Structure 1
């Protein structure tokens, strides 16, 4: 299976951000109005960008309004695939590859076949794969279909601060780990490494005296940071050479991420087995053998975190989503 290459010789890693920016809105100004049952979110537990949408969909209770299709943890250079489903075909869209939905939108689509993607079930075509906008629109455009007690993840009075924090976290942390892992020169790696850990130190300092990144409740900012931190010890520390120290050796961030992990919507949307399988099997230019490490021991994710002493209310005036029967993995 050809997984493709993720590095360009002698150049720093640059993420392809040419996304399909069509939006699903209440007024339908892009031709796609909010309509329950019309759209299918295609995601993967392996992918941090996609897991954000899984978490937000669950926190807001959009399960009945937007169906969820899950790709398997591995893919080839062409596309994510539905190998978790019977016969390897998505049961709603009837396709074996996410690429098929992109081609239904744009024949011969030449940009990245990425998750998350939202597909218009009727046409079978991708509407958007703009991961940063998808969760914001879940929070603001789909509000009529939020569950009773849904939290305010992007409250109006905190949006400017959330946006500022998100910009730093994306540049230095979310994308920073990839800039380390996919660096093709020592110079590029060294610069990325320094920027990543400066970003993590900045976040840690911010979280010393407050339970959440912005305000006293969980917001969009916490969702975005969590999916990177959750992958740090299992993947980024070794596989991406982000090894100044493990997350479990950074007291503030380790307590913070366990606090979120133990909050409904976060830990039950995290599948460590699929995360490890994805990175170590797909990135063959980094890990040619495809061997997936057995460690680290993840049982300590359920240990007491003590962050409740800082105050704050996870869901504000809202409530937690109903528990799932079992964790994702």
Structure 2
């Protein structure tokens, strides 16, 4: 039986194909998708017979237009309130979503983490309108299945950094990229940025999309190249890149310590995302966090893998995913 998961990420759209207990995954660049140079369904069909797919789980942007896991046929406006303020928009994810919806593949859409999710702690709802985009639910589900932990912090560190708190197997809240720790591209809006926004020098979205480690390292390149460029400069001993990496790690440590401080119980901490694939980066963070709880690492494919696992379990009758209701 074949199930497929999709991760709508910043640098690309990732897919995991789950065939019984075996995973295959691949990633497509958003800019190539948006320009029509590649087709998601064509690429998928090269790897699996589309007629064999029993269910596909999709994530798209903020996912703030829905608060349940629903069939794509039931969802309006691709499950979002607005695409504005969500980072750099290329249109690649939109094309993929529409390709899947217009195909014969049975598919469900996973919501983002926002204040209309009933499972969230009321204080998180009161404090923040939005906590994380939809693929973070998939990442958390993969972490839940891989570790068996019911009480944990899951931190996804890549183009942006988002950390989620789970208690008793349910998502309780999180710190979104514009609020807390830096990622490679995105980061929190500080006073200097607010002044630039008020003065009309930059939009809020422009500030958000330039507030990560690239701001400190002074890197100006295409989004999908930024992480490798940052790490290459860091390994060569570039002072600004070193400061950027160390600052990013500091903000991540602050964020995770903050969530740990309000948790009722903490079984462990899961680190994932493309930056965690660098062992040196992961080990240095792990050393700083081991005093809180055991630390485990997941690969950067955890988003699409978790989506495929959600598709499989929903197909097999599961009607609640980490506190999120399934409505088919």
Whichever structure has more strand as a proportion of its residues is 2
TM over 0.5: no
